[in-house]
Chains A and B, each alone.
Chain A
Amino acid sequence: MKWLLFAFKNVLRNRRRSLITIIITAIGSSAILIGGGFALFTYDGLKQGATRASGHLVIAQKNYFSGEEESAMQYGLSNWQDIKQRIEQDEHVKWVIPRIQLSGLISNGEKTAIYMAEGVDPEGEVKAREFLIDKGEWLSSTSAENEDAQILLGKDLAKSMKADIGSSLTLLSTTADGALNGIDVEVHGIFSTGVPEMDKRMLYIDIPTAQALLDSQKVSTLHTYLNNTDDTEIVAEKYRAQFPDNALKNWEELAFYYVGVVNLYNRLFGVLGLIIVIIVFFSVTNTMSMVVRERTREIGTLAAMGTLPREILRNFVLEALVIGIIGSVLGMAIAGGFIIFLENAGFMMPPPPGRNVGYPLLVYFSGQLFVMTTIVLIVISVLSALLAARKGIRQPIVDALSHV
């Protein structure tokens, strides 16, 4: 304890210089915490988005993910209701939602365009996903028999079809047998995804309508939503054993955007962190070198009195430790203040590439990141001190004592 007290007193010896070093360490620490926290916030947002979109696990026919369908629903799931029933009994599972992927032509009588559609269970989907309905309403669970089937149109597709709520349109597609089939639909709502390319092509219909259009009782995929994302792998393993004839992918395998962003940010913030660590290293090394040079005579005195070189080294290491700890804690305080400020300021980030909706600028505080940053900065400070003090303690005592 005495040695730590002496180290603290020595740090206060040249207050201005120590303060500058502490501030550099604190800025480095806060930059890592803020940068890392922003990355974590982004990862979390994308992860939630990805799991909401696809569910945690997607079960399909064996060749669905790897093969190219020659006809509609060639690789569809025929026993999906049985699988759904079995999965729904699992305590880890929140919802199981079937979906049908299809494409074809949409026409208003005057103009025809290509569409990409998703056949959904209206009741199940609203529980799992959020839809940004610009106009009208989400699909009803059941349409009256004498009414046209309901459809939800992407806003740019609606614009292209000059359609509004209540407009009648015709969907054309090829059936599972390869025949051309058509169905009249009524626009029940207009939605926006935030991705212009999707808004130009995308539409939603209910599963019975999609099945009628494709003339098939199959669905493309079953999307399993779990209570806890962390259980994904455990549950996946279980289902792989339970349904060996089916293909199964987890959300991460399907979230290409998420994986791309994570890889990009990890590299970006990794390089940033490395630069910060190097700056802190040189700053502390510079300070400790000056400290050692200024205290050469003192080092000689302590050595003459019987202090071992490693004990002298320990004193400098403790000083660097004090600087590293104070700098890291100050860095945490700066980062904490900045995070609180952002939460209250309500700043928005511009839309990412390929999207037209921005998102709030928020930063997560991660205790794990703080501990890691503090450890790295302390190790860097201690290494700097060792490097700087090593030269000082190697000097012959007589030379050190006569140092002016």
Chain B
Amino acid sequence: MDTLVSLRNISKTYHLGKTTVPALQHVSLDVDASELVALSGPSGSGKSTLLNTCGLIDTPDEGEYTLGGESMLSRSSKELTMVRRNKIGFVFQSFNLVPVMTAYENIEYPLLLTGMRNMERKKRVDKILDQVGLEQYQQQLPDQLSGGQRQRVAMARALVKQPMLVIADEPTANLDTQTATHIIDLMKDLSRRYGTTFLIATHDQRMTERCDQKITLVDGKINTNDMQITADSELNKGRNG
């Protein structure tokens, strides 16, 4: 498979007054297209920083990042915005839906940014509303929806533009077990349908187990055992195949 996300020697340090906090230390990572990658680790391990870097909303102090074979870190702020607009979707822990927009409008928003024609936009939104099972809730405002429904709207919003990469930060953290399971199934299903790569920061064991690759971060570094396990698993898959 083609490598979609490639990080090389990424480091990021935060300065809090006189204290310096190394969030990422020489992280290198490859993620293939259409993969579901779980990113876990204790609080403060650098998961969010890694996700933000991959999602182009934070810049590392050093290293190289290529997305779809194109170098990202030398680009201007406007260019990065356009990459996010066209190629990256976001799913947030607290859903982050715009409260004055209906479910339909929230999902439609990324397409409005791309300047897509009205008919095409409607077709896309209707299709994804059907896929996430929210057709009958499309005119509801976010505060009229349950947590699970809101997260489904957030997923639909992230996927409606058919991005290469979806960054999901603790997408099941605010959901009950049953809803979380539905969301995990949905992510898996949508990843398969759209061929989208998911980079998911999670503490949820069920989600980690269902991902193609699991990466654990400890003190801003990737736990090399995970890489080994993943490599072994890939090898076994190849042998069995």
Contacts from A to B (Cβ < 8 Å): 2, 6, 9-10, 12-13, 297-298, 301-308, 311, 396-398, 401
Knowing A303-B81, A308-B81 touch, does A398 contact B58 (C-beta < 8 A)? yes
Given A397-B57, A398-B57, A401-B92, are A305 and B113 also a contact pair (CB < 8 Å)?
Answer: yes
Q: How far is B52's CA from A128's CA once the two chains are assembled, in angstroms? A: 83
Residues on the A chain within 8 Å of B89, using CB = 305
User: Is B101 engaged at the interface, CB distance under 8 Å to the other chain?
Assistant: yes
Known A-B contacts A305-B110, A305-B113, A308-B81; A298 and B98 likewise in contact (beta carbons under 8 Å): yes
Contact B90 A304 (CB under 8 A): yes
Given contacts A12-B100, A305-B84, A307-B85, 17 further A-B contacts (CB under 8 A): A2-B112, A6-B101, A6-B105, A13-B100, A297-B96, A298-B96, A298-B98, A301-B90, A302-B98, A304-B57, A305-B109, A306-B84, A306-B85, A308-B78, A397-B57, A401-B57, A401-B92
Say yes or no: A305 contacts B100, CB within 8 Å. no
In this complex, which of A2, A10, A305, A398 has the most chain B Cβ atoms within 10 angstroms of its Cβ?
A: A305
Interface residues, chain B, CB within 8 Å of chain A? 52, 55, 57-58, 78, 81-86, 88-90, 92, 96, 98-101, 105, 109-110, 112-113, 157
C-alpha gap A302/B85 in the complex (Å): 10
Complex partner residue of B113 from A10, A306, A396, A397, CB under 8 angstroms:
A306
- The CA of A401 and the CA of B99, in the complex, are separated in Å by 15
Contacts A305-B84, A306-B82, A306-B110; is A6 near B100 (CB within 8 Å)? yes
Chain A residues within 8 Å of B96, by CB: 297-298, 301, 401
Dominant SS among interface residues on chain A:
helix
* Min CB–CB distance B226 → chain A (angstroms): 25
Q: Are B81 and A306 in contact (CB under 8 A)?
A: yes
Contact B52 A398 (CB under 8 A): yes
| Bound Cα distance from A401 to B92, whole angstroms | 9
Task: Quote the shortest CB–CB distance from B100 to chain A (angstroms).
Answer: 4
CB-CB under 8 A for A306 and B57, given A298-B98, A301-B98: no
Interface centre among B83, B85, B98, B100, by most A CB within 10 Å?
B100
- In the complex, 9 of the A-B residue pairs with CB atoms within 8 angstroms, ordered by the A residue number, are A13-B100, A298-B98, A305-B89, A306-B82, A306-B113, A307-B85, A307-B113, A398-B52, A398-B57
Smallest CB gap from A11: residue in B: B100
Q: Report the bound CA distance from A387 to B117 in whole Å.
A: 33
Closest to B86 in A: A306
Q: How far is the CA of A2 from the CA of B110 in the complex (A)?
A: 13
A311 adjacent to B101 (CB under 8 Å):
no
**Residues of chain B within 8 A of A303, CB atoms compared:** 57, 81
Q: Which residues of the partner chain B approach A6 to less than 8 Å between Cβ atoms?
A: 100-101, 105
**A10: nearest chain-B partner, CB-CB:** B100
Chain B residues in 8 Å Cβ range of A12: 100
Q: B169: nearest residue on chain A (CB-CB)?
A: A401
Known A-B contacts A307-B81, A308-B78; the reply to A301 vs B113 at CB < 8 A is: no
Q: CA–CA, A397 to B49, complex, Å?
A: 12
B80: nearest residue on chain A (CB-CB)?
A306
Measured in the bound complex, the distance between the Cα atoms of B112 and A397 in whole Å is 20
User: In the complex, A153 Cα to B6 Cα: how many Å?
Assistant: 105
A129 shortest CB reach to chain B, Å: 64
Most buried by B among A298, A302, A398: A398
Interface hub of A303, A305, A306, A396 (most chain B Cβ within 10 A): A306
Interface-central residue, A10, A12, A307, by most chain B CB under 10 Å: A307
B83 contacts across to A, CB distance below 8 A: 306
- Give the docked Cα–Cα distance between A2 and B99 (Å): 16
Q: B90's closest neighbor in chain A, by CB? A: A304
Once the chains bind, are B81 and A301 in contact (CB under 8 Å)?
A: no
Please, how many angstroms separate the alpha-carbon atoms of A151 and B52 in the complex?
A: 98
Are B55 and A304 in touch, CB under 8 angstroms? yes
A13 to B142, CA, bound (A): 13
